[in-house]
Amino acid sequence: MPYTLADVLPSVAASFGLNEPNPLEIPPNRDVVVLLIDGLGAELLARHRDIAPTLATHTTTLTAGFPATTATSLTSLALGAPCATHGIIGYSFAVPDTDGPRLFNSLRWRLDSATGADARESHPPESVQPRTSRLQDLTAFGVEVHYVVPEYQARSGLTRASFRAPGTLHPATTLDEVRAGILEVAAYPGTVSRFAYAYFPDLDSTGHLYGPESAEALAVLRDIDGVVADLLTDLPDTCTLLVTGDHGMIHADNAVDLDARDGLHRDVRLIGGEARVRHIYLDRAGAAADALARWSTELAADAQVVSREQALDEHWFGRTPPAPVIANRIGDLIAVAEGRTILVRPEHEPLESAMVGHHGARTADEQSIPLITSY
């Protein structure tokens, strides 16, 4: 079985001496930094070794996990577990509300849409995702935790839900600031161990706007490679550097407008997820068989449509069966786009539907992510 993003932090914890498995065989060291590049796919690196020679030379391949999307992947990284365990099962999904299920955007921690009402009070992150993170385990073991991230992330709902542990913030938006923050974490005398989580979002955002292999995105990739090359040279031997991604990306060339297909909305209460993976929530349980037949027929050329039960039986979200509260977040039906198709909702998701690059589904371009190591 291939190693996954969820194997990274248990391996880091083991390298510090915690009683955790170490499948990635990370050697002991005083400090460890994990730099996550949003949107960094292994297939992208394999096709562009000339642009990113450092990343391509030092890499092995992991699997992001399903769905291959940022909120899910960051939580899987932080907890060392797939989403069947932690419950952040997609970009958006249904949560209980006073008048029935309501869409919840887990990346922005908002209700109804990416620009809806702030949900940090109505749906506290520590309640939506109550499990202990591996960073909390590190803190309890005496390892100092540091964050080299954009300042807004330190207080975001997703950070509170996934990483959970307090730590020293090194605000970093640009690549130069990320590099400086990582070097600051590692440059100190003494024997106390430090762990730093660093994050850079621009490859993902540029890929969404222009496509993952556009000139604009490849320019960002080249700059990232240069910074990683510098870090591999400049970091002291007391610090281990791990660089990885949360998902890859495809360039969409076939858009299916779900809003324009009236037949798909019969007996449907909510449609969540994102353009590559849709969660469909029905008005009534008795409608499941007919709805599955309609969606499967309508999208036969564009997507695989399965019931929640089939997805769970086939362990799409992880091998451990989810608790009922998590299982209920999964759609009654799940539609996974195939090839370079996207399942868009331009009336309800105008910004997302206009994007060129997308991720979430099960192709190698989306699922395969690199692990670049300094050892």
Q: Which two tokens stand for residue 25?
A: 């065989």
Helix, strand or coil, per DSSP, at residue 241: strand
Label residue 99 by pLDDT band (50, 70, 90): confident
Mean pLDDT of the residues in the chain: 97
- Exposure string over 3-21, b if 16+ CB within 10 A, otherwise e: ebbbbbbbbbbbbbebebe
Domains for the chain: give ranges and CATH numbers.
Answer: 5-88+129-250+363-373 (3.40.720.10), 254-358 (3.30.1360.180)
Query: Is pLDDT of 50 > 80?
Result: yes
Burial (CB count within 10 angstroms: exposed 0-12, middle 13-18, buried 19+), residue 25: exposed
Residue 323's pLDDT is: 97
Question: Can you tell me the mean pLDDT for 180-195?
Answer: 96
Question: 257: pLDDT confidence band, cut at 50, 70 and 90?
Answer: very high
What's the predicted TM-score (pTM) here?
A: 0.96
Task: Provide mean pLDDT across the span 282-286.
Answer: 91
Q: Could you read off the pLDDT of 317-330 as tens digits, one per residue?
A: 999 999 999 999 99
Q: What is the pLDDT of residue 295?
A: 98
As a whole number of angstroms, the distance between CA 162 and CA 153 comes to 11
Measured in degrees and rounded to the nearest 5, phi and psi for residue 193 equal -80, 145
pLDDT average, residue stretch 346-359: 96
Give the residues across from 105 on adjacent strands: 92, 110
Q: State residue 341's pLDDT score.
A: 98
Can you tell me the distance from the alpha carbon of 131 to that of 264, in angstroms, rounded to the nearest whole number?
36
What's at 356, amino acid-wise?
V
Give the pLDDT band of residue 1 (cuts 50, 70, 90).
low
Query: Model confidence at 98, in pLDDT bands (50, 70, 90)?
Result: confident
**What angle do the packed helices 215-234 and 175-186 form, to 10 degrees?**
20
How many residues does the structure list for the chain? 375
For the record, the structure tokens of 195 come out as 């762990």
